[in-house]
Each structure stands twice: as C-alpha cells, then as structure tokens.
Amino acid sequence: MTEPTLDIVAIGNAIVDVISQAEDSFLAEEGLNKGSMQLLFTTEEAEALYAKMGPGVEASGGSAANTIAGIGALGGKTGFIGQVADDELGDVFRHDITALGVKFDTAARSGEPATARCLILVTPDGERTMNTFLGASQHLPASALDHELIESAAILYLEGYLWDPEEPRAAMDKAIDIARNAGRKVAFTLSDGFCVDRHRNGFLKLIEDGRIDILFANEDEIKSLQQTEDFDEAVEKTAARVPTLVVTRSEKGAIAVKDGERAEVAAEPIDRMVDATGAGDQFAAGFLHGQAQDKSVADSLAMGAVCAAEVIQHYGPRPEADTKALIAKRLG
C-alpha cells in the first residue's frame, strides 16, 4: 500500500451561501425551523424566499467544502469533489476553494439547474437557519469521482447532507469502497438532526457495516440517530460502534470517544457570537487536521474548538483570521 500524499479529500455539496440578517418573527412567518437546514426543492421556492429576504452577502459554503477550506487554511493538503454548474456562482465556488490550495477538479455541469445556493438567515442571537436549493450539487454522479484523488488521501470526509439526493449518495457509497480498498480512513458528519431523521437507517447501516472510522455529530444529531433524549446513552451506544466519535456541544465544548477512551474540551472563550454558520464545519476542520498530523485526541479537540470559535465571531462560514497562528498559541 502506498503512503497517502494528501491529508484529506472531501465529497460534499458545492454551495454558495447567501447570508442575510433576519428577525425571529420572519422565521415564524415563513414557518422556518430555527437552527436547522431545510431543503428548497424548486427554483420557484428558492426565488420566493430570496425575494422576501433582506440584502445578503454571498460567500462560498457547503458543509464539507467549508471543512476542507478550513483545513486548507491550516496548511493541510486537501482535495474536494462536488458538482457546480457552469455559471457565475460556480466560478465563485471554484475560485474560493482553489485559492486555498485545495485540489478541486470536478468539471462544471452545463445547463440547468444552477449552482446550489443556501439562503441563510442569521437572527440577532447569531443562530443560523439554512434553506438550501441543491441545484447542480444534487447531480454529482459516481462517474465524476477521481479514484486516484480519493486513494491519495489519508482520510475521506463525507457529509450527511449529501445523502439526500440519489446520485451523490451512490457516488459517496462508491467513494467509501475506493477509500477502504486503498486502506484509507473514512470520516462522516451527520450534518443535521432532521437529516438524520430522513436517513437514520442508512446512517446506522454505514456504522454497523464498519464503513466509518470517524463520526462527527452534535447533540441533536446523536440523539436523533439513537432516538433517545438521553445524551450519554446516545454517545455510549454510538461510540461502541465507531472507532472514533466526536460530538460537538456548542457552548458546552465537545467530547470525543476513541477506542473506548473519552476526552473533552471546553468551548473557547469568544468576544461575541456573530454568526453560527460554519461552527461545526470548522470544528471538524481543526479536529481532522489534528488527526492528520498525528496529534492526540485531546489536542485535536482543542484545535477544533479554536477553529469553531474563530468562525462564529464573523459573518461567513470559512476562517478569516489566521487559524494556524491561533492554534499554535492555544497548544503552546
């Protein structure tokens, strides 16, 4: 087996975020579930919500893409696989991820639908409510997978969100096989509590079949996965089935259980919560970069906490400050 030349390759939605401020009353009027992600299935639905929103700022997003961008900012060697359309937002997505040194070769898809966009409403408490039009992103075919790229990375990272549409689900399934056959590790994020509701059996089967080495979840997601309100029970049940489990808990920090051993980290202190978008994604970036650098689980958790704290103190889902320097300072 050859040594990996990249640290992490991710497969995820290739999305441009449209970030806008909104009052809680607007969420109520629109019947939106605060803090969650809902799918917009048609261009009409997406345009109708966009028309009602306030002015926005556009920034490249996508959960796994944010994580990969974060790892790129930390100096990790990374690649990304995801489907954009041959349009302006597709160009923006490609520019931003490659500008961070991420290898991204998935060809743009011509014609409709357009590049995916996520309409993000940030309420005054900094919480984000996401409304995703998957667009071209839902048409990532298994044939677009770059086998060599996947085989070249120590870890393959996948997002649960991409389990919704059929083509990318099949592509991720195949990618897991490619990675495992090459002796690589597979990391997976459950993405969202409602997403777990939609795909609980599929996610549990992945875990049962031993196809996931590192599982990321937050409190909602892990409880939804095990269908219990008891957090410790959910963690215990899940940790028994995956080599490494990482659970983020917002202001309560995060825990990890690796081969039965539990580690914890407190949340990093912050000045002000501005926009929660990207918190989980950047936690995963810090943790995965730590693991790729053979750091301890405790240090990897601390790296995740630093990256999450940075991203929630400004608008946008990817780091703006020098997270590498922040981590160096934190780890001493």
Binding site for its own copies (CB under 8 A): 18, 21, 50-51, 53-60, 69, 87-89, 92, 95-97, 99-100, 114, 314-316, 318, 320
CB of 119 to its own copies, least distance (A): 11
Residue 148 or 320: which CB sits closer to its own copies? 320
CB of 73 to its own copies, least distance (A): 9
Residue 21 or 293: which CB sits closer to its own copies? 21
Closest listed residue to residue 164, CA positions, set 122, 195, 207, 140: 195
CB of 57 to its own copies, least distance (A): 5
CB of 89 to its own copies, least distance (A): 6
CB of 87 to its own copies, least distance (A): 6
Residue 100 or 162: which CB sits closer to its own copies? 100
Residue 4 or 70: which CB sits closer to its own copies? 70
Residue 56 or 243: which CB sits closer to its own copies? 56
CB of 310 to its own copies, least distance (A): 14
Residue 24 or 167: which CB sits closer to its own copies? 24
